């Protein structure tokens, strides 16, 4: 007996231990699972942020070398430049020497001499085109000499050796521009033509156009003069500019005015406008192109750099110059400016030796350094914007390493209106890439966010009434048998891959609606009316007919009038379009109402994405309504409330947090939905809320552009930012929904 | 001969009357009900007197709640119910098509086993039925709410916090609130479906005291499992068993001298 007892006891103990182990084990598994989910979300969050963060990082700069100018004896430079690898730099001196030297230590690499006579001298050198490395020098003896700095690369086993050289693309001949020496000049150059705009010793402003003609035999290119003319200028010019397409010439004079000439006909330049470009008392100190040849930068002695470009004017001249933005460099006055070769960044040096970096489009004032002891004479930015060379008046050259990867992104640029070149006014624009190389990407997240909200809005407009009313009917009025059929059917819609919905919407629904637009509008009007009418007729029907329909299945008969109305509307569509809208409602709308029509528009998205979110909203809302305790409804009914009164006064108020949460989750889903919007919106990042206009959403944008963007580029990081914004959107809506749902659950627990 | 567990002093304040002397409120005539193929009530014939408390007793599943719920047609909500025979309120059949169910339910109020206040304030709970009837006059509503709460013996406890949520009340208070809500619409009949079974003894006592007061103004029909309760609060008692009305009579007679063997077995605790 004792033995038996003890066996039972041991058995019980073993069982107990085993149960405890299982319990512990399962608890740990569940805990690990839960923590892993939270961890995964946190990791996504951290990863997105880590990719996005560098966008807003402050740039860094530090001095890597400082040395005396190589071949100091030849005097200060007339031009300073760096090649693409930022290993070799060159300077041009008065005697016509082109001195190449090692950027890191100033060691001379090789010296060239321009083909000028010993008693001649170079007065100045200007960059013609940074992309083709073409330079032009004006000579004391008159005329311009064009030359290029070029680099041959040689690869040995272990290293890359760069061999600099000087070439003469238009021959070693000096381009003759009359007897007197050229004091100032500007050159506009493209593939076929070259225009020189100059001021000679006599103070005259001359304009000469050339055509590039290549010889059949030697393939040498020579310049052949097409035309020339002289302009009158009442003030002393400070600087001249010609745009690369040689359509416009700019003259900045000492009074602070900028004159714009139309030079499309070189023989008769046409003065378009003279405009004050400096503040009242300040004098201009220089003018520079921003890359692309559209914006000009004007520096003045009050230390302000202003950006100008021409926009379409309203008056008698077609264009007018407009100040777009300005940057304060240093009150000592702007001494020298240089713009980056691949971006719209600018380096401006002040008289005080301070050097300021700013980025025009993003309006970011990036940094200011006290760079040199003397005044900055020349600024050279390496093409990749990683090295900066400064020559000061004391003959010292300083080399700066720059770490400045994403100056073009700023909060104001991403979320505010930006005035881009050639636009009439500041605007929100997303245009990340283009075929043209001097194109400036435009990264405003506003059109995408707008498109996302628009798509979600129209989807909700379509889905919310249907899903919520459906949920109310199913949960509250429907007979259990019918409910057992309807609820799973709607929920199974959720399993439909959205790519199929998108495909159907884009390739079938969109063209169909385009062809039957009046019919669709009629459906939207007449179906609700028809439903109300059917209900009225049903109410009036004699009891004998009503009693033949099983109770609770009345709604099923509604399918009949709905289908009939839809078919009638669709078949009447073409006839109505012909009779009322001159055969084409789309053209009629744009002509008479000014409403544009995209085939893939918000209506399509509303229907297709609405279809995708209906099951989500329906399912959660139905659960919320159905789980309103039955004793509450019977309590209300027992007080003599009609089912409708009970619904409105007891059921809906109790279930409203659940319905709200359903709507939020549906909205979150609509915001994050990708395939449908990708395939059926047209993906045009426009900011138009019209129902017949397309849109581009954050999600579709990421899906379209991320595979094509360069890793770690600004574009790439901004796409991650878009993804992050999207994540925050859905996170926000789902969190709200979940909080409301938790509250609801707690509330029901006490009922 | 009948050794009941209930002492006769329980009935001392109950007048011994015959049902024939009473004014009849609800009449069941050959009333039968089935859920689909399963019959739940068999040919019930019953007269419920006006302004008296009538108790339905019987073991679980005997159909007493079903019968009660037929009196204001709460069973309409259930699928597949078939009824035959008549259920009359003041001589008028309530199951004909020309009867407006909501009006019927305003006349025949009902209180359920579990307190079911709405998730609203105490005031709004009581005012609910009034608002349903379209009463918008503020003073009238306030007067009726106060009257109902006074008559349901709750005013003293909640009179100064009418705007509090009804869920802040205790279970017993909630049940009295539900009764207040029911009487606010001035019904003729009050159906109580085991109103105290979810409550503690003190709350139960209060509810019973309340019923004793209410029956002077309302016809009260109460379903209860608790035979002492039936004995304490009711003037008449009906004993149902397996869907059949076994015995109906004045409470003191039924408990002290049951006419049927089954009744005696039940009230002496042999089954149930």
3-state per-residue secondary structure call for A340-377: CCCCCEEEEEECCCEEEEEECCCCEEEEEEECCCCCEE
Residues of A in contact with B106 (CB under 8 A): 639-640
pLDDT the model gives residue B36: 83
Q: Are B45 and B67 contacting, i.e. CB atoms less than 8 angstroms apart?
A: no
In this prediction, the residues of chain B whose per-residue pLDDT falls under 50 are: 1-5, 7-8, 12-13, 272
Residue B109 contacts A where some CB pair is shorter than 8 Å? yes
d(CA A66, CA A105): 8
Residue B103 contacts A where some CB pair is shorter than 8 Å? yes
pLDDT the model gives residue B13: 47
Put simply, the answer to whether A639 touches B116 (Cβ < 8 Å) is: no
Neighbours of A331 (CB within 10 A): 13
pLDDT the model gives residue B17: 62
Put simply, the answer to whether B109 touches A639 (Cβ < 8 Å) is: yes
Chain B, nearest residue to A642 by Cα: B102
Put simply, the answer to whether B185 touches A641 (Cβ < 8 Å) is: no
Chain A, nearest residue to B110 by Cα: A638
Q: Which of A18-32, A324-338, A637-651, B17-31 has the lowest mean pLDDT?
A: B17-31
Put simply, the answer to whether A640 touches B132 (Cβ < 8 Å) is: yes
Put simply, the answer to whether A637 touches B74 (Cβ < 8 Å) is: yes
Q: In what order do the strands lie in the sheet with A97-102?
A: A79-82, A88-92, A97-102, A108-113
d(CA A462, CA A459): 5
Q: What is the mean pLDDT of residues A674-695?
A: 88
B52 Cβ partners below 8 Å, 6+ apart?
Answer: B22, B215, B219, B220, B234, B235, B236
Nearest-CA neighbor of A513 among A455, A595, A597?
A597
Q: What is the mean pLDDT of residues A559-569?
A: 90
Strand bridging mode B53-57 / B219-223: parallel
Q: Of B72, B117, B119, which is closest to A747 when you measure between CB atoms?
A: B119
Q: Are B147 and B159 contacting, i.e. CB atoms less than 8 angstroms apart?
A: no
pTM of the model: 0.84
Put simply, the answer to whether B182 touches A641 (Cβ < 8 Å) is: no
Put simply, the answer to whether B133 touches A638 (Cβ < 8 Å) is: no
Put simply, the answer to whether B167 touches A641 (Cβ < 8 Å) is: no
Put simply, the answer to whether A480 touches B79 (Cβ < 8 Å) is: yes
Probe site for chain A from B116, B166, B182, B191 (most A CB atoms < 10 A): B116
Percent over 70 (pLDDT), chain A = 98
Give the CA diameter of chain B. 60
Put simply, the answer to whether B118 touches A645 (Cβ < 8 Å) is: no
In B, residues 154-213, which contact A (CB 8 Å cutoff)? 167, 178, 181-182, 185
pLDDT the model gives residue A437: 65
Q: Which of A6-10, A547-551, A725-729 has the lowest mean pLDDT?
A: A547-551
Q: Of A543, A635, A641, which is closest to B116 when you measure between CB atoms?
A: A635
Residues of B in contact with A652 (CB under 8 A): none
Residue B118 contacts A where some CB pair is shorter than 8 Å? yes
Nearest-CA neighbor of A658 among A465, A472, A453?
A472
Q: What is the pLDDT of residues A356-397, one digit of tens each?
A: 999 998 888 888 888 777 888 999 999 989 999 999 888 899
Nearest-CA neighbor of A141 among A181, A186, A82?
A181
Put simply, the answer to whether A649 touches B109 (Cβ < 8 Å) is: no
Residue B249 contacts A where some CB pair is shorter than 8 Å? no
Does A203 score more than 90 pLDDT?
no
Q: Which value does ipTM take for this structure?
A: 0.88
Nearest-CA neighbor of B194 among B113, B115, B116, B117?
B113
Q: Report how far apart, in Å, the C-alpha atoms of B13 and of each of A164, B3, B8, B208 are.
A: 124, 21, 11, 14
Percent over 90 (pLDDT), chain A = 43
Probe site for chain A from B96, B104, B105, B134 (most A CB atoms < 10 A): B105
d(CA A563, CA A565): 6
Chain B, nearest residue to A476 by Cα: B77
Chain A, nearest residue to B183 by Cα: A639
Q: What is the mean pLDDT of residues A410-422?
A: 89
A222 Cβ partners below 8 Å, 6+ apart?
Answer: A170, A171, A212, A213, A214, A215
d(CA A384, CA A401): 11
Q: Of B97, B167, B181, which is closest to A639 when you measure between CB atoms?
A: B181
Q: What are phi and psi of B219, to 5 degrees?
A: -80, 115
d(CA A250, CA A246): 11
Chain A, nearest residue to B131 by Cα: A641
pLDDT the model gives residue A750: 63
Put simply, the answer to whether B74 touches A653 (Cβ < 8 Å) is: no
Put simply, the answer to whether B133 touches A631 (Cβ < 8 Å) is: no
Chain A, nearest residue to B103 by Cα: A640
* Residue A657 DSSP code: H
Residues of B in contact with A654 (CB under 8 A): 119
Residues of A in contact with B112 (CB under 8 A): 631, 634-635, 638
Would you state the structure tokens that stand for residue A681, as one six-digit string? 């919106």
Residue B46 contacts A where some CB pair is shorter than 8 Å? no
Q: How far does the CA of residue B132 sit from the closest CA of chain A (Å)?
A: 6
Put simply, the answer to whether B119 touches A642 (Cβ < 8 Å) is: no
d(CA B245, CA B54): 14
Put simply, the answer to whether A480 touches B105 (Cβ < 8 Å) is: no
d(CA B178, CA B118): 9
Q: Report how far apart, in Å, the C-alpha atoms of A576 and of each of A85, A571, A579, A590, A686 are.
A: 68, 9, 5, 17, 31
Would you state the structure tokens that stand for residue A205, as one six-digit string? 């402003």
Q: Of A629, A637, A640, which is closest to B185 when you measure between CB atoms?
A: A640
Residue B1 contacts A where some CB pair is shorter than 8 Å? no
Put simply, the answer to whether A638 touches B74 (Cβ < 8 Å) is: yes
Q: Are A98 and A113 contacting, i.e. CB atoms less than 8 angstroms apart?
A: yes
* Residue A56 DSSP code: G
Probe site for chain A from B104, B114, B132, B185 (most A CB atoms < 10 A): B132
Probe site for chain B from A635, A641, A648 (most B CB atoms < 10 A): A635
Q: Report how far apart, in Å, the C-alpha atoms of A2 and of each of A6, A11, A18, A482, B189 are.
A: 6, 14, 24, 63, 67
Q: In what order do the strands lie in the sheet with A354-359?
A: A334-339, A345-350, A354-359, A364-370
B257 Cβ partners below 8 Å, 6+ apart?
Answer: B2
Put simply, the answer to whether A639 touches B72 (Cβ < 8 Å) is: no
Probe site for chain B from A484, A544, A640 (most B CB atoms < 10 A): A640
Residues of A in contact with B133 (CB under 8 A): 640
Does A553 score more than 80 pLDDT?
no
Put simply, the answer to whether A639 touches B105 (Cβ < 8 Å) is: yes
Q: Are B241 and B60 contacting, i.e. CB atoms less than 8 angstroms apart?
A: no
Q: Of B79, B109, B132, which is closest to A641 when you measure between CB atoms?
A: B132
A659 Cβ partners below 8 Å, 6+ apart?
Answer: A468, A471, A621, A624, A625, A652
pLDDT the model gives residue B4: 44
3-class DSSP string for A202-239: CCCEEEEEEEEEECCCCCCEEEEEEEEEEECCCCCEEE
Q: How far does the CA of residue A725 sit from the closest CA of chain B (Å)?
A: 38
Nearest-CA neighbor of A101 among A300, A380, A430, A377?
A380
Quote the Cα angle for A573-A579-A582, to 5°: 100
Tell whether the torsion through CA atoms of A603, A609, A615 and A620 is positive or negative: negative
Q: Scanning the structure block, which residue is given the tokens 């302004």?
A: B51
Q: What is the mean pLDDT of residues A217-235?
A: 82
d(CA B254, CA B243): 19
Put simply, the answer to whether B105 touches A629 (Cβ < 8 Å) is: no
pLDDT the model gives residue A397: 92
Put simply, the answer to whether B105 touches A750 (Cβ < 8 Å) is: no
Strand bridging mode B219-223 / B189-193: parallel
Q: What is the pLDDT of residues A253-297, one digit of tens each?
A: 888 888 899 999 888 888 888 888 887 778 888 899 988 888 999
DSSP H/E element including A631: helix A630-638
d(CA A122, CA A125): 8
Mean pLDDT of chain A: 88
Q: Of A481, A642, A654, which is closest to B119 when you measure between CB atoms?
A: A654
In B, residues 73-102, which contact A (CB 8 Å cutoff)? 74, 77, 79, 97, 102
Strand bridging mode B53-57 / B236-241: parallel
3-state secondary structure of A635: helix
Give the CA diameter of chain A. 134
Q: What is the pLDDT of residues A467-518, one digit of tens each?
A: 999 999 999 888 888 889 999 999 998 888 999 999 999 999 999 988 888 8
Q: Are A586 and A517 contacting, i.e. CB atoms less than 8 angstroms apart?
A: yes
Residues of B in contact with A751 (CB under 8 A): 119, 167
């Amino acid at each position: 007996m004792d033995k038996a007892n003890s066996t039972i006891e041991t058995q019980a103990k073993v069982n107990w231990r085993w149960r405890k182990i299982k319990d512990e084990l399962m608890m740990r598994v569940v805990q690990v699972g839960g923590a892993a989910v939270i961890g995964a979300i946190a990791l996504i969050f951290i990863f997105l942020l880590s990719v996005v963060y560098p966008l807003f990082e402050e740039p860094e700069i530090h001095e890597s070398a400082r040395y005396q100018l190589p071949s100091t004896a030849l005097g200060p430079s007339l031009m300073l430049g760096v090649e693409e690898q930022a290993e070799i730099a060159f300077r041009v001196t008065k005697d016509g020497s082109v001195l190449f030297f090692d950027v890191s230590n100033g060691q001379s690499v090789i010296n060239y001499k321009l083909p000028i006579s010993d008693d001649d001298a170079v007065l100045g050198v200007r960059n013609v085109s940074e992309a083709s490395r073409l330079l032009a020098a004006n000579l004391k003896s008159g005329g311009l000499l064009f030359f290029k700095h070029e680099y041959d690369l040689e690869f040995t086993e272990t290293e890359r050796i760069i061999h600099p050289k000087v070439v003469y693309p238009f021959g070693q001949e000096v381009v003759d521009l009359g007897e007197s020496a050229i004091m100032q000049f500007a050159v506009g150059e493209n593939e076929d033509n070259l225009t020189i705009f100059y001021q000679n010793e006599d103070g005259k402003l001359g304009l000469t156009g050339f055509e590039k003609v290549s010889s059949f035999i030697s393939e040498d290119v020579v310049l052949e003069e097409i035309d020339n003319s002289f302009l009158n200028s009442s003030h002393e010019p400070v600087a001249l500019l010609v745009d690369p397409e040689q359509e416009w010439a700019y003259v900045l004079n000492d009074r602070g005015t900028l004159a714009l000439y139309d030079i499309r006909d070189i023989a008769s330049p046409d003065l378009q406008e003279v405009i004050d470009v400096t503040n009242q008392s300040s004098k201009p100190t220089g003018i520079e192109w921003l890359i692309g040849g559209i914006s000009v930068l004007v520096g003045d002695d009050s230390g302000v750099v202003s950006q100008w470009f021409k926009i379409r004017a309203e008056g008698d001249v077609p264009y007018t110059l407009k100040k777009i933005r300005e940057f304060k460099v240093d009150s000592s006055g702007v001494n020298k400016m240089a713009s980056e070769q691949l971006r719209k960044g600018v380096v401006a040096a002040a008289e005080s030796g301070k050097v300021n970096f700013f980025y025009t489009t993003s309006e970011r004032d990036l940094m200011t350094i006290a760079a040199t002891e003397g005044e900055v004479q020349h600024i050279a930015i390496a093409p990749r914007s990683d090295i900066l060379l400064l020559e000061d008046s004391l003959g010292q050259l300083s080399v700066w390493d720059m770490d400045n990867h994403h100056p073009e992104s700023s909060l104001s640029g991403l979320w505010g209106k930006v005035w881009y070149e050639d636009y009439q006014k500041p605007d929100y624009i997303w245009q990340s890439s283009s075929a043209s190389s001097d194109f400036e990407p435009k990264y405003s997240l506003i059109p995408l966010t707008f498109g996302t909200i628009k798509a979600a809005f129209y989807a909700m407009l379509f889905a919310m009434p249907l899903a919520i009313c459906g949920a109310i009917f199913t949960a509250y009025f429907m007979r259990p048998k019918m409910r057992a059929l309807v609820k799973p059917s709607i929920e199974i819609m959720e399993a439909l891959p959205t790519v199929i919905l998108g495909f159907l919407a884009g390739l079938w629904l969109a063209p169909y609606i385009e062809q039957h637009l009046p019919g669709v509008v009629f459906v939207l009007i007449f179906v609700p009316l028809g439903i109300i009418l059917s209900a009225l007729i049903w109410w009036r029907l004699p009891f004998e007919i009503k009693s033949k329909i099983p109770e609770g299945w009345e709604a099923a008969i509604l399918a009949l009038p709905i289908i009939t109305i839809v078919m009638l509307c669709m078949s009447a569509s073409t006839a109505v379009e012909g009779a009322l809208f001159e055969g084409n409602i789309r053209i009629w709308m744009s002509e008479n109402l000014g409403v544009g029509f995209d085939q893939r528009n918000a209506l399509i998205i509303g229907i297709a994405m609405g279809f995708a979110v209906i099951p989500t909203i329906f399912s959660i809302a139905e659960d919320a309504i159905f789980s309103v305790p039955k004793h509450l409804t019977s309590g209300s009914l027992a007080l003599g409330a009609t089912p409708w009164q009970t619904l409105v006064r007891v059921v809906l108020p109790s279930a409203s947090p659940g319905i709200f949460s359903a709507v939020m989750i549906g909205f979150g889903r609509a915001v994050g939905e990708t395939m449908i919007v990708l395939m059926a919106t047209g993906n045009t990042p426009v900011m138009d809320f019209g129902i017949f206009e397309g849109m581009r959403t954050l999600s579709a944008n990421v899906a379209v552009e991320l595979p094509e963007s360069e890793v770690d580029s600004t574009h790439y990081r901004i796409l991650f930012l878009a993804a992050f914004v999207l994540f925050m959107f859905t996170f926000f809506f789902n969190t709200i929904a979940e909080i409301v749902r938790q509250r609801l659950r707690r509330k029901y627990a006490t009922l | 001969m009948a050794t009941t567990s209930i002492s006769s002093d329980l009935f001392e304040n109950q007048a011994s009357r015959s049902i024939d002397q009473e004014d009849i409120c609800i009449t069941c005539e050959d009333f039968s009900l089935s859920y689909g193929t399963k019959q739940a009530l068999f040919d019930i014939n019953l007269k419920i007197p006006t302004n008296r408390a009538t108790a339905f007793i019987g073991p679980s599943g005997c159909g007493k709640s079903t019968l009660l719920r037929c009196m204001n047609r709460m069973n309409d909500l259930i699928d597949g119910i078939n009824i035959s025979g008549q259920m009359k309120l003041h001589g008028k059949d309530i199951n004909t098509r020309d009867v407006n169910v909501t009006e019927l339910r305003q006349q025949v109020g009902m209180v359920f086993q579990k307190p079911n206040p709405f998730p609203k304030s105490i005031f709004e709970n009581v005012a609910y039925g009034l608002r349903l009837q379209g009463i918008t006059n503020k003073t009238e509503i306030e007067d009726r709410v106060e009257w109902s709460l006074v008559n349901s013996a709750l005013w003293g406890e909640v009179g100064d916090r009418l705007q509090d949520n009804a869920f802040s009340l205790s279970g017993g208070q909630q049940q009295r609130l539900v009764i207040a809500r029911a009487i606010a619409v001035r019904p003729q009949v009050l159906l109580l479906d085991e109103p105290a079974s979810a409550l503690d003894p003190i709350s139960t006592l209060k509810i019973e005291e309340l019923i004793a007061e209410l029956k002077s103004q309302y016809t009260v029909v109460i379903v209860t499992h608790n035979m002492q309760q039936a004995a304490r609060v009711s003037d008449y008692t009906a004993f149902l068993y397996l869907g059949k009305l076994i015995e109906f009579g004045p409470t003191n007679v039924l408990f002290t001298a049951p006419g049927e063997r089954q009744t005696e077995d039940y009230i002496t605790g042999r089954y149930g």
